[in-house]
Amino acid sequence: MEESYKTIRQWRKEARAELERAGDMDAAWDVDWMLCEVFECGRAELKWIEGNDIRGEMGRQLHFWLHERMDGRPLQYILGHTGFMGIDILCDERALIPRQDTETLAELALHRMQYVKNPSVLDLCTGTGAIGLTMKHYRPDAVVTLADISEDALALAKKNADALELNVRILRGDLWEAVEGEKFDFILCNPPYLTDQDMKELMEEVRREPELALWGGSDGLGFYRRIAAGLDGALNENGEALLEIGRGQEKDVADLMNAAGFCAEAHKDLCGIDRVIRVWRGQPADGMI
């Protein structure tokens, strides 16, 4: 297959068909992404070069990537990086893939901290470091800490920090243990939140991501309980926490935070799904659950 396609147009058509037969629901997007990577162009530019030949090393690279994708490996892992909030994040099997859902949390965090000088920020369960590094990238004055229990994930987060030339602190520990005795203005977290049932129904490619970053206990709320239990001791007086949640978890997570003495409100993602819970001390606000 690698030598039989002479133009981008031909390879694109046949590769899409191959991926669709393999069950890839994003076949068209994935094929274009691979082509953009090889030809170092944007997706809109492909139509202007679709008559170009695919030769030599380019063809061999595309052939390898295509078969890796047909085998169910996530394309972000295959290519070794992905875009997040306008920056390039290195990613591999050591950590969860940063996705657009989590950009909702990052955007809200940047909005909330716009009037806070030198905000202290904790990215809890950091994984690749995408959330915390985004804060540091757009707010150079922020004092950012990345924390995770996984040594492998933290090694990847450090690699990202070095690649982006961002000065952040990296700590290892089991949730609050990593920052025991410290307080922060903003605590940002995309914790594992899948239930036992969710884990059984995972798509093949998601099964390639670390279970440690996915499974949130039998009901998916295990980490939120632990976050609620330790939040008072880790949050500055006027600080707030932003937590990503799974579909339908907004009421349960808000209840946990309310029981711990905090106010909580849900924020929707671009698809209209409640995706982030904002948590703070004080009076209830409009939109509070």
Q: Are residue 137 and residue 201 in the same domain, yes or no?
A: yes
What's the number of domains the chain is made of? 2
What pLDDT sits at residue 286? Answer: 46
**Per the domain annotation, does 220 fall within a domain?**
yes
- pLDDT surpasses 60 at 285: no
**Per the domain annotation, does 81 fall within a domain?**
no
Question: Mean pLDDT throughout 98-102?
Answer: 92
- pLDDT surpasses 70 at 283: no
Q: Are residue 165 and residue 238 in the same domain, yes or no?
A: yes
Q: Are residue 128 and residue 269 in the same domain, yes or no?
A: yes
Q: Are residue 63 and residue 130 in the same domain, yes or no?
A: no
Instruction: Tell me how far apart the alpha carbons of residues 17 and 134 are, in angstroms, rounded to a whole number.
Output: 36
What pLDDT sits at residue 1? Answer: 43
**Per the domain annotation, does 84 fall within a domain?**
no
Which domain CATH number covers 170?
Answer: 3.40.50.150
- Burial of 25 by CB count in 10 Å (0-12 exposed, 13-18 middle, 19+ buried)? exposed
76 confidence band (pLDDT: 50, 70, 90): very high
Q: Are residue 198 and residue 252 in the same domain, yes or no?
A: yes
| Residue among 66, 50, 61 nearest 18 (CA) | 66
Q: Are residue 18 and residue 130 in the same domain, yes or no?
A: no
**Per the domain annotation, does 233 fall within a domain?**
yes
Q: Are residue 130 and residue 54 in the same domain, yes or no?
A: no
- Burial of 107 by CB count in 10 Å (0-12 exposed, 13-18 middle, 19+ buried)? middle
**Per the domain annotation, does 151 fall within a domain?**
yes
**Per the domain annotation, does 169 fall within a domain?**
yes
Q: Are residue 44 and residue 163 in the same domain, yes or no?
A: no
Question: Model confidence over 180-218: pLDDT tens digits?
Answer: 999 999 999 999 888 778 778 777 777 787 878 877 788
Instruction: Tell me how far apart the alpha carbons of residues 31 and 13 are, in angstroms, rounded to a whole number.
Output: 9
Range of the domain at 174: 93-280
Characterise 186 by phi-psi region: left (phi > 0), alpha (psi -120 to 50), beta (else). Answer: beta
Q: What is the mean pLDDT of the chain?
A: 91
- pLDDT surpasses 70 at 284: no
Q: Are residue 35 and residue 114 in the same domain, yes or no?
A: no
**Per the domain annotation, does 175 fall within a domain?**
yes
Instruction: Tell me how far apart the alpha carbons of residues 36 and 145 are, in angstroms, rounded to a whole number.
Output: 34
CB-based contact 94:152 (threshold 8 Å): yes
- pLDDT surpasses 90 at 21: yes
**Per the domain annotation, does 229 fall within a domain?**
yes
Q: Are residue 98 and residue 51 in the same domain, yes or no?
A: no
Q: Are residue 157 and residue 211 in the same domain, yes or no?
A: yes
Q: Are residue 148 and residue 33 in the same domain, yes or no?
A: no
Instruction: Tell me how far apart the alpha carbons of residues 126 and 222 are, in angstroms, rounded to a whole number.
Output: 17
